[in-house]
Amino acid sequence: MPYHAPVPDYRFILEHVVGFDRLRATERFAESTADVTDAILEEAARLANEVLAPLQRAGDQHPAVLENGVVRTTPGFAEAYRAIAAGGWVGMSAGPAHGGMDLPQSLTTAVNEMMSGACLAIQIAPLMTQGQIEALEHHASDEIKALYLPKLITGEWCGTMNLTEPQAGSDVGALRTRAEPKGDGTYAITGQKIYISWGDNDFTENVCHLVLARLPDGPPGTKGISLFMVPKRIPDADGTPGPANSLRVVSLEHKMGLHGSPTAVMEYDGATGWLVGAPHKGMAAMFTMMNNARLGVGVQGIGVAEAACQHALAYARDRRQGPSPLEDGTGTILDHADVRRMLAEMKAQTFAARAIAFDNAVAIDMAHATGDAAWQARAAFLTPISKAYGTETGIDVASTGVQVHGGMGYIEETGAAQYLRDVRVTAIYEGTNGIQAMDLVGRKLSDGGAAAFALLAEIGQTAARAEEELPDLAAFLASAEATLTATTSWLLEQGEINDRFAGAVPYLRAFALVLGGHYHLRAALAEGGQGPRTALARLFIRRMLPAHDALCAAVREGAAGLYALSDEDLVA
């Protein structure tokens, strides 16, 4: 389906909204000039528009299949993946020691978004590998780094993440996969893992599985979990894939969407693995990969939102239905106020989610470049918001896109429904959005709210800057910031963590909306207070931001009301 990467929007947000210029002031990213950034974005856009987007429907209509133990991928996917690898896009933010380009995560975020919008099913493969690269860079031995990282960075090999088991979903500590020492520095890995994205393919030399398992002396729960590298084919010292390891794809899941992306049930039967990191410290290593993936998954949702916006707008500009309410209208449904509302809100929400993700990425880059704990705290606080709001935006916008199409949206031939089916899982994997929200009000507020209040103070400063030029929008944002600040203080005062958890989801969404108003207002100021970005900011701040007030009220209700109905009452 037609897709055009929104490069002008990426450029505007990076330069005028989230402060990408600060990266150029650091020694590490001094070479990320405007010319370099533009060249990267334009080249990635060509890949997304011309190579990946034509495969969007093919992945849905000709899904990956398992034949005689071999995964056969969608026609065209192999060539597309090789194009991604050949362009250096897999390892663009990896360190230079093993062949990476060491580019800012901010640019990788933009590239990942445009690839997700073009064809999410194929984009998942390089995203998983990027997360594995980061985990190995931080936790693996020098020997494992030297053997695996060059191949992963070039895309010759790809990586996966193996956490979930039939009885161990969010409760990872309940896993049963075992790791037995073999006496030669390797381990025999035995167990079954489910929901493994791109668990196998027919276009890379090797598939490298990072597998959570428990050593014989591992204590119960997450404190006893270790992480292992378990390759599909065991490489020799030169990195040449050798004999097949003792693992296999049992089956591929029959999914609601993302049919082109094989989601595997994996079985390990004494497979040879190598320890990554220290014994019993696997969760720390895996969370390095997961935090990378959480931002990446949020960006997947934003990419699909952008594609759904474009798809719906194209339909609305062509569809004629009923008399136009405008004297000089086009005669299409785009003239109708409710259709115009849906499309405008889709665009405004997508902008807000994109700006949150880019701000998150810039914070990650600044933390890497400076080592400043404040940047690290900002990045950590924004990560669950990026993941949850980004994916909810994908779902909301894709669903509204179906509505714009009317009855035709429910017909598969138009392709509108595929965006909704494909993006729906993003709110579930890499930690459900409820877990992201609980992390936000739990671990991320454990600093006494320092990171939250720093962001809120910045939002207040934006409102103050806009008082003369855009007073009505400034007042709306200032009021929202005050309400959210008071709600944050209320959460910190609660002695029962369950009272925080009960309001976690509305709190995260309220924070995202207020952040969205902040970025929209900054965009309007950068534009001079007049123009399309100002009009979009006015729509978001005056029409969509007010929902934060009801959300904050729900946060302050605590947990008691959730338990007023018994289990039997819920059934009845």
- Give me the active site residues, please: 430
The neighbouring-strand residues paired with 274 are 229
SS3 of residue 181 by DSSP: strand
H helices of 211-336, in order, are: 282-316
φ, ψ for residue 551, nearest 5 deg: -65, -45
SS3 of residue 271 by DSSP: strand
Distance in angstroms (rounded) separating the CA atoms of residues 191 and 269: 7
Angle at 58 between CA 86 and CA 87, to 5 degrees: 10
Which residue do the tokens 């334009």 mark?
Answer: 42
Distance in angstroms (rounded) separating the CA atoms of residues 197 and 137: 21
Work out the end-to-end distance of the chain between its first and last CA atoms, rounded to an integer number of angstroms.
Answer: 46
3-state helix, strand, coil in the chain (%, to 5): 60, 15, 25
Inter-residue contact 262 to 199 (CB < 8 Å) = yes
Nearest residue to 7 (alpha-carbon basis) of 38, 51, 50, 53:
38
Q: How far is CA 306 from CA 346, 354, 490, in A?
A: 9, 10, 36
Inter-residue contact 246 to 271 (CB < 8 Å) = yes
In eight-state DSSP terms, residue 165 is B
Angle at 418 between CA 417 and CA 419, to 5 degrees: 90
Distance in angstroms (rounded) separating the CA atoms of residues 383 and 163: 20
Q: Which two tokens stand for residue 388?
A: 């949850």
Nearest residue to 291 (alpha-carbon basis) of 91, 436, 508, 441:
436
Which residue do the tokens 């055009």 mark?
Answer: 4
The neighbouring-strand residues paired with 249 are 266
Cα dihedral 305→320→4→291 (10° resolution):
0
Q: Which two tokens stand for residue 149?
A: 């990282």
Beta-strand runs (E) in 376-519: none
Distance in angstroms (rounded) separating the CA atoms of residues 106 and 386: 13
φ, ψ for residue 546, nearest 5 deg: -55, -20
